[in-house]
A and B are shown apart, each in its own frame.
Chain A
């Protein structure tokens, strides 16, 4: 099967998702593949994606065992880890024993159509117009429904670990997380993407998240996959009045990482964060197209998106802030800082404010540049080598986004990842 430019061999969809997948496959026939002529894809080449021929997978890759998973386990999530391999649920590797009166976890494939509908399945993700969202639905096999019940405060972070492993044939893997945080409930979700080898694959994870009144969700998204894969994700969040949502995305891997987070305010007095840290080198391409959509009065939003570029890497950022008419008293701040550290790297950024209400405080700032030579000199004058000074400054730049991460083990390994990145790349400049 060809989905326009993308060559693709599909397997018959699994029962539960068949009606959705059929509809999506139908939409794909008329949808055009994104090109540089589309404003949203102007700076992101998909040539490296279309040269592969992909197969869809249903398999659970049985070869993956505890031995592989062990090193990714988080002590904080001993009783709340959900493991997927190539987008398929692996119950044998998962360990979930949290109090079911506080949180319930269901497999999407075990829910009836009416249950799915009631839980908001397919209600946030675009079902017709967005090529990759539709491709996701067409290739979807499984997913989880996380339901945090009214008033529950779930202490243990829920670790959703998506492991990729493949063979010589490039494959497509899609999975869905449907998340419901009820009134006055609180939870922390760690969504992590890793790969066990260098196989080429296209992963299209989609998250549909609903946070109800006075609910609160902390969402950590960690992407440290191999540098051959393509990762195109759509985390979409709907916030009722007085809800809180704080999202931190840390991305180090993938050949092409395209992230399109979207936060929609559906009631008054919400508070949300959408931070990101991207560290790329080699021929990596990282692209974040975010939307913060204020549709009701009284909203606070904050976005800090930091990028470090080395090698031939290529970074794109487009951060849209919408303040709709009648959405008064909005305080929204967006900051995009890019550290461009190599001759052959390139940074495109387009912060974008679209304001239709007058009683608002909205601002954005964007910078692109190298490390400040004065700062490097200052550290050198205190006895550091130039290399060490640059390492320290790059590390400090990256650290600002990690600081807010409260899960200790995650914080620790991210610090290590950042250190590894800086020493690897700063050293390469000498």
Chain B
């Protein structure tokens, strides 16, 4: 209990009407005209000095995208992005190559400081290497050398295209083909930058890898691309966290994240997403249309997604695992919080193809305000997936009378040796529960915070320590004032 209280105390420093991270930084930008055509893609590829095959990959994706229709099946209604009003590339002028932080553009440095990312501190204290993506181009990568000693490659995807073309060529698009869906096709055509991680055989990454994303510069859609490859018997834990400045026009974010785990390898991917969610009237806010998928390719491989989704006006996101290798394991732990007029349609897909594959889904949705929160999931046991096993639990909590909670679990089995169990509940923060805690001397807000913390505990314990603390704070801030 004291832990909850102290978190709640800390919370007060964060509380404010305005989005705390709503500020912009004036840096000079290398701007492209708005809109998208083959010339823009050629120009983008040329600026990034990409090899011919990369340009081909992009052009192919663009042609596929041009023929595709924007999907509308989500349980969300929003003003569709105007694709020819988006500026598909923006990068800080002349990418700095830095030996130390002192050389960093002071304005960028200040942005990080205000975001509370102590880059220089982290180097020594947290043991976390940060590849900070400032808008679209990586401006700083730390701890590279230490990782290099272990043989782990952790760099921007642009750099990987130059330095490790064979790896990128082999794996990019192998889990999420460009044609997979409308947004992955768009991303494949125009991705500006992102992260690349390669963990060699029998290697445990010496530290947690972390990328902080930050959307800046009005009207610049972000199209990150992340590729993580874990070779045989390796392990890597990857953290992704996001904040964004306050803007009035909707911003599209269509990232693609691909994970590949070979025999005996394990990838743990954690996300905290707290982009600007729009104001009380639903004006502004980020569109978070992300495609994330892991391929548990090898025998005994494991892929685990953990996410805390609190931000964005509209979130459409289904981190998935294809359990191809025999004995492979997939996990999905999620907390999705919506308030104000946010809409989230999120969940996972677990596709069992290999024998003795196992998957676990724990999803907790919290809706407040006038928001709509949907869980959409697919569990599929293929014909040859002998002894596949899935357990899913999807719980929703409603706070207030104007929000909605929805579950759309698709469950399919074509093999009698498979076993699927799914359960879902919907409930609310009970008056009796609050009353009981108030009787014990807690304020109403603390009582709610405690109940909510209990509700999501199963998921948050999956987050790495430093994220878990941030996660608790975020939850409290999000739900502040939701009950009354």
Contacts and interface: CB of A to CB of B under 8 A. Distances in A.
Contact of A343 (B396, B399, B416, B424): B416
A349 B411 CA distance: 5
Nearest to B421: A367
A364 interface: yes
B416 A355 contact: no
A360 B422 contact: no
B414 A346 contact: yes
Interface in A343-365: 343, 345-365
Nearest to B75: A354
A393 interface: no
A40 B478 CA distance: 36
Contacts of B415: 340, 343
A354 B411 CA distance: 17
A359 B428 contact: yes
Contacts of B411: 347-350, 366, 368
A181 B411 CA distance: 38
A408 interface: no
A356 B426 contact: no
B97 interface: no
B6 interface: no
A325 B402 CA distance: 7
B417 A370 contact: yes
A353 B405 contact: yes
Given A350-B408, A353-B406, A366-B422, A326 B401 contact: yes
Interface string B404-420: 11111111111111111
Contacts of B424: 351, 353, 363-365
Nearest to A332: B426
A35 to B, nearest CB: 15
Interface residues of B, number: 35
Given A364-B423, A366-B411, A354 B404 contact: yes
Interface in B422-438: 422-428
A368 B419 contact: yes
A339 B405 CA distance: 29
A363 B425 contact: yes
A39 interface: yes
A366 B401 contact: no
Contacts, number: 116
B53 interface: no
A348 B412 contact: yes
B130 interface: no
Contact of A341 (B381, B383, B401, B416): B416
A350 B409 contact: yes
B78 interface: no
Contact of A358 (B381, B401, B421): B401
B423 A365 contact: yes
Interface string B369-403: 00000000000010100000000000010111111
B321 to A, nearest CB: 19
Contacts of A356: 403-404
Given A346-B414, A347-B413, A355 B406 contact: yes
B190 to A, nearest CB: 29
Nearest to B424: A364
A323 B405 CA distance: 10
Contacts of B383: 343
A231 B396 CA distance: 36
A421 to B, nearest CB: 17
B404 A351 contact: no
Interface centre among B73, B381, B400, B404 (most CB of A within 10 A): B404
B425 A369 contact: no
Contact of B418 (A342, A364, A368): A368
Nearest to B73: A39
A87 to B, nearest CB: 35
A347 B412 CA distance: 6
Nearest to B378: A350
Contact of B420 (A328, A357, A368): A368
Given A355-B398, A361-B427, A362-B426, A350 B410 contact: yes
B401 A357 contact: yes
A370 B386 CA distance: 12
A360 B428 contact: yes
Nearest to A345: B416
A360 B427 contact: yes
Contacts of B407: 351-353, 364
Interface string A248-265: 000000000000000000
B410 A348 contact: yes
Interface string A113-143: 0000000000000000000000000000000
B429 to A, nearest CB: 8
Interface string A308-344: 0000000000000001011010000000001011110
B413 A368 contact: yes
A367 B391 CA distance: 9
A134 B117 CA distance: 62
A294 to B, nearest CB: 12
Nearest to A316: B412
A54 to B, nearest CB: 31
Nearest to A354: B406
The 7 lowest CB-CB distance pairs between A and B, nearest first, are: A358-B398, A369-B419, A363-B425, A362-B426, A358-B428, A368-B413, A366-B422
28 contacts: A325-B401, A328-B401, A340-B415, A340-B418, A342-B416, A346-B413, A347-B411, A347-B412, A348-B412, A350-B408, A350-B410, A351-B424, A352-B409, A353-B406, A353-B424, A353-B426, A356-B404, A358-B400, A358-B403, A359-B428, A360-B398, A361-B426, A362-B427, A363-B424, A364-B407, A365-B424, A366-B411, A370-B417
Interface of B: 73, 381, 383, 396, 398-428
Given A340-B416, A351-B407, A364-B407, 14 more contacts: A341-B416, A343-B383, A352-B407, A353-B407, A353-B424, A354-B406, A355-B398, A356-B403, A360-B426, A364-B422, A365-B424, A367-B419, A368-B411, A370-B416
